[in-house]
Amino acid sequence: MTLCPCGSTSDLEECCGPLLNGSAAHTPEALMRSRYTAFVLGKLDHIERTHVPEIRDDFNRAEAERTFASVEWRGLEILHTSEQEDAGSVEFTIRFLHNGQELTQYETARFRRVEGGWLYEGGKVSAKPPPRQVIKKGRNEPCSCGSGKKYKKCCGT
């Protein structure tokens, strides 16, 4: 048994293996995991094949080969997925070692269902996820626990 590099803790042949061999992805997350695995294993045909047709010609194989040769992949973490009809997105971070430096990349990838399978449409990449918004509760506002008391007399003590 060979663990799948995507982080699912499943066997490669049961997890991303069928997708790498040409099967259609049934969810955006499954496609994202298989694309990460393809980068780890150098299966660049899968990366190219899983782009939507209108951007497939933009795939820079030479650049992808240089990336494969110079990067040691350290992990994929799926943060959030969404799927509505034929559109989906996956927010994730990847960790990798490049030129001796440990790096993390955050991306929100967009996917589209085409003829029953999901394909990569594009994404927005940044070094880190957007900051979390913390909403400060006012002392005299009703407590969010539903007690009916003011926050300062309930959970704010």
Q: Which two tokens stand for residue 60?
A: 């820079």
pTM: 0.78
20 three-state secondary structure: helix
Cα 17 to the center of its chain, rounded Å: 18
- pLDDT, tens digit, for every residue of 21-69? 999 999 999 999 999 999 999 999 999 999 999 998 888 889 888 888 8
**Residue 112 pLDDT class (50, 70, 90 cuts):** very high
Give the separation between CA 2 and CA 5, rounded to whole angstroms: 9
Share of the chain above pLDDT 70, in %: 92
**CA distance to 6, 16, 109, per residue, from 73 (Å):** 10, 16, 18
Exposed (0-12), middle (13-18) or buried (19+): which is 29, by Cβ within 10 Å? buried
Q: In the block, which residue shows the tokens 């995991």?
A: 33
**Residue 127 pLDDT class (50, 70, 90 cuts):** low
30 three-state secondary structure: helix
Average pLDDT over residues 9-13: 93
Instruction: Give exposure, 99-124, as e/b (b: 16+ Cβ within 10 Å).
Output: eeeeeeebbbbbbebeeeebbbbeee
pLDDT of res. 11: 94
Q: Which domains does the chain have, with CATH numbers?
A: 17-130 (3.10.450.50)
Average pLDDT over residues 8-30: 94
Query: What interhelical angle do 28-41 and 61-70 show, nearest 10?
Result: 70
Q: In the block, which residue shows the tokens 């070094």?
A: 127
β-sheet bridge partners, residue 113? 118
Q: Which two tokens stand for residue 52?
A: 């939507």
